[in-house]
Amino acid sequence: MKLGSDAKGVYVIAPTPFYPDGRVDDESIDRMTDFFIEAGATGITLLGQLGEAPKMTLDESVAIVRRVIGRASLPIVVGVSAPGFAAMRALTQDVMDAGAAGVMIAPPNTLRTDDAIVAYYAQASKAIGADVPFVIQDYPLTFSVQMTPGVIRRIVTENAACVMLKHEDWPGLEKISQLRSWEREGSMRRIAILTGNNALFLDFEMERGADGANTGYCFPDMLIDVVRWSAAGRRDEAHDLFDAHLPLIRYEQQPGPGLAVRKYVMMRRGIIASDTLRSPGAKLTAAARGEVDYLLARLARHDPRAACGQS
């Protein structure tokens, strides 16, 4: 099951659950995987930016990938971004051998010119093997690398293995429209566009032509509803649900404490056992936890899934 340019729906970005002492919590991985499947996820992305991959050894990383692949019959995409192609190639081989559907590659934050970005993806695809489907991660807020639509078109055109864009540019709505316009007029091969950035613009991204979401908001079940309803033309319903979640989406989208918020809510929802982050990682202050509790209580008036037990 290889990732293709027909991917759609919600590929959930999975966090990595740890026990309070820092060990990987396999039981929570299983429960979380089951939760994603039951919620209707169409795929899962492991070891992304918010999967705490840099804090794990290669062995731990590969073990997690194997565990999730063994449990889920969904396509599993694995983040393999690395400072060098040797490490990227090694991890890619391990996870593709284990049954991954494809890999996701973020650009190193030192790339500056259009040509440098395009060259990087060509080298990366060659390094991991031209038969390995890959996802471009376009997240300038985090990586400081700006890809114009034209650069993405060049990468897509030059690399047959490029099948998906994890779109998280900001602002990014016109970028989706531009790419889809080029596809319609035949000047660019069609790829899957799934959006990230904690879903902060998912409501309109779907209407601009996105195929779904590829992010890790603590209510992936909400993302799945919004994507389905939006695809089905139930515009107002999609926006109503989305807007109810927006105060929390915004809160979780903060770089730094965001992942701690995500894990805290997933713990409160019973999806994972502990909200532990491996060091170094932001900790929620009591004030922040109180704010999240308040946001959940308010959200529960619109979405009963938010009425999870207090911590």
Position among 6, 20, 54, 270 found at the interface with a copy of itself (CB under 8 A): 54
Residue 97 touches a copy of itself, criterion: CB under 8 A: no
Residue 173 touches a copy of itself, criterion: CB under 8 A: yes
Position among 55, 190, 289, 305 found at the interface with a copy of itself (CB under 8 A): 55
In whole angstroms, give the CA distance from residue 62 to residue 53: 10
| Number of residues in contact with a copy of itself under rule CB under 8 A | 56
Contacts for 129 with CB less than 8 Å, ≥ 6 apart: 89, 92, 93, 96
Residue with tokens 């932001």: 282
- Smallest gap from Cβ 54 to a copy of itself, in A, equals 2
- For a copy of itself, which is the closer residue by CB, 7 or 249? 249
Residue 303 touches a copy of itself, criterion: CB under 8 A: no
Q: Which of residues 201-220 bind a copy of itself (CB under 8 A)?
A: 201, 203-204, 207-208
- Smallest gap from Cβ 75 to a copy of itself, in A, equals 26
Provide the terminal-to-terminal Cα distance of the chain, rounded to the nearest Å: 40
Q: Which of residues 126-155 bind a copy of itself (CB under 8 A)?
A: 146-148, 150-151
Contacts for 76 with CB less than 8 Å, ≥ 6 apart: 43, 44, 45, 46, 65, 68, 69, 99, 100, 101
- Smallest gap from Cβ 11 to a copy of itself, in A, equals 23
Q: Which of residues 254-293 bind a copy of itself (CB under 8 A)?
A: 254-258, 279-280, 285, 287-288, 291
Beta carbons within 10 angstroms of residue 298's beta carbon: 13
Residue 90 touches a copy of itself, criterion: CB under 8 A: yes
Instruction: Please say whether the beta carbons of 84 and 48 come within 8 A.
Output: no
DSSP string for 113-150: SHHHHHHHHHHHHHHH-TTS-EEEEE-HHHH-----HH
- For a copy of itself, which is the closer residue by CB, 157 or 285? 285
Residue 56 touches a copy of itself, criterion: CB under 8 A: yes
Cis peptide before 280, with omega less than 30 degrees from 0?
yes
Name the residues that contact a copy of itself, by CB under 8 A.
53-58, 60, 82-87, 90, 109-110, 112-116, 119, 123, 146-148, 150-151, 170-171, 173-174, 177, 200-201, 203-204, 207-208, 239, 243, 246-247, 250, 254-258, 279-280, 285, 287-288, 291, 298
